């Protein structure tokens, strides 16, 4: 597969976890990378690693759940790099208080803004740049919860991630005529900092059995380096030791 020299990627949620790993991997393959997230400090740390290795990075923080933030960041990317080839739509969040009994209007709004609205805003902003190019790739971090309904992730997270999967399919239905492709990634448990918000702590041993951020970055690179004539619509991926299956088989504790 070719490298990504000359390509420009925008990675959201780039300060940690899957986003951090994806940004570093894309930069290693030659892409210039714009980094977005709520906090500047972790984004700057990732950018420093990229530039120290000879790559190009733009730190573009913002609250992507706000309607105007994505468009402003996209405009910065277009001004700085002149194009946008890849959006890794990865920003997301969860809460400890995630059951119906604990959801409040404020918590529901936070979850939908962080996991669905932000993805829509970034996709719309990216498409505005990609259409005139007649080329572009959007890769969305949905979730196993975007495909399968369960108790652990909480109803707001599940509903939002199902929305991300549907959004990605709708992009392919409309934007194929502009040479644009969209892929929804649906990973089961990934060992990222979001696990710290689980109601029940997740041990180091359990995290070691999960998908690692670097595995997701490798998958993102694979999708990014496919020919423009190929669209991977959706990828569902899980650890071999799936804790949900283990619980059903009576082989381990429940995933909470």
Q: Strand 86-89 vs strand 8-12: parallel, antiparallel, or unpaired?
A: parallel
Q: Strand pairing partners for 236?
A: 186
Q: Identify whether 113 is part of a domain.
A: yes
How much is the average pLDDT of 151-173?
Answer: 97
Query: From CA 131, how far away is CA 209, in angstroms rounded?
Result: 41
Q: Identify whether 85 is part of a domain.
A: yes
Round the average pLDDT of the chain to a whole number and report it: 95
CA neighbor of 10 nearest in space, from 107, 141, 138, 113:
138
* CATH at 196: 3.40.50.720
* Strand ranges in the chain using DSSP code E only, listed in sequence order: 8-12, 32-36, 57-59, 86-89, 136-141, 180-187, 234-237
> Model-level pTM?
0.94
CA neighbor of 147 nearest in space, from 123, 165, 132, 160:
165
- Given phi > 0 = left and psi -120 to 50 = alpha, else beta, which region is 141? beta
Buried b (16+ CB within 10 A) or exposed e, 12-38: bbbbbbbbbbbbbbbbbbebbbbbbbb
Please report the pLDDT score of residue 164 as a whole number: 98
With a cut of 90, say whether residue 119 has pLDDT above it.
Answer: yes
Report, as residue numbers or ranges, the catalytic residues: 157
Strand order in the sheet with 32-36: 57-59, 32-36, 8-12, 86-89, 136-141, 180-187, 234-237
Q: Identify whether 1 is part of a domain.
A: no
pLDDT digit string (tens) for 169-185?
999 999 999 999 999 99
CA neighbor of 198 nearest in space, from 147, 252, 255:
255
Please report the pLDDT score of residue 248 as a whole number: 73
pLDDT digit string (tens) for 65-88?
999 999 999 999 999 999 999 999
Q: Which structural domain range is residue 184 located in?
A: 8-248
pLDDT digit string (tens) for 18-51?
999 999 999 999 999 999 999 999 999 999 999 9
Query: From CA 104, how far away is CA 89, in angstroms rounded?
Result: 26
Q: Identify whether 254 is part of a domain.
A: no
Query: From CA 216, how far away is CA 207, in angstroms rounded?
Result: 15
How much is the average pLDDT of 90-118?
Answer: 96
Contact (CB, 8 A) for 228 and 135: yes
Total number of domains constituting the chain: 1
Predicted confidence band of residue 202 (pLDDT cuts 50, 70, 90): confident
Please report the pLDDT score of residue 11 as a whole number: 99
With a cut of 70, say whether residue 1 has pLDDT above it.
Answer: no
Q: Which of 68-82, 114-128, 201-215 has the lowest mean pLDDT?
A: 201-215
Q: Identify whether 255 is part of a domain.
A: no
Please report the pLDDT score of residue 244 as a whole number: 83
Q: Identify whether 154 is part of a domain.
A: yes
Q: Identify whether 157 is part of a domain.
A: yes
With a cut of 60, say whether residue 141 has pLDDT above it.
Answer: yes
């Amino acid at each position: 597969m070719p490298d990504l020299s000359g390509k420009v990627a925008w990675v959201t949620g780039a300060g940690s976890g899957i986003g951090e790993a994806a940004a570093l991997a894309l930069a290693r393959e030659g892409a210039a990378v714009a980094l977005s997230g709520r906090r500047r400090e972790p984004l700057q740390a990732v950018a420093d690693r990229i530039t120290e290795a000879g790559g190009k990075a733009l730190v573009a923080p913002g609250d992507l759940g706000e309607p105007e933030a994505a468009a402003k960041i996209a405009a910065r990317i277009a001004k700085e790099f002149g194009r946008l080839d890849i959006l890794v739509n990865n920003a997301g969040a969860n809460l400890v208080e995630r059951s119906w009994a604990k959801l409040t209007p404020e918590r529901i709004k936070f979850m939908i803004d962080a996991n669905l609205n932000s993805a829509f805003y970034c996709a719309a902003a990216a498409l505005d740049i990609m259409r005139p190019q007649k080329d572009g790739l959007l890769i969305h971090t949905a979730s196993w919860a975007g495909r399968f309904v369960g108790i652990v992730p909480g109803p707001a997270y599940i509903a939002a991630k199902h929305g991300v999967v549907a959004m990605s399919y709708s992009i392919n239905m409309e934007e194929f005529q502009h040479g644009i492709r969209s892929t929804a990634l649906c990973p089961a448990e990934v060992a990222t900092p979001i696990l710290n918000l689980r109601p029940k702590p997740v041990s180091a041993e359990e995290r070691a059995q999960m998908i690692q951020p670097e595995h997701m970055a490798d998958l993102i690179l694979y999708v990014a380096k496919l020919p423009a004539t190929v669209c991977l619509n959706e990828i569902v991926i899980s650890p071999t030791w799936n804790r949900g299956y283990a619980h059903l088989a009576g082989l381990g504790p429940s995933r909470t």
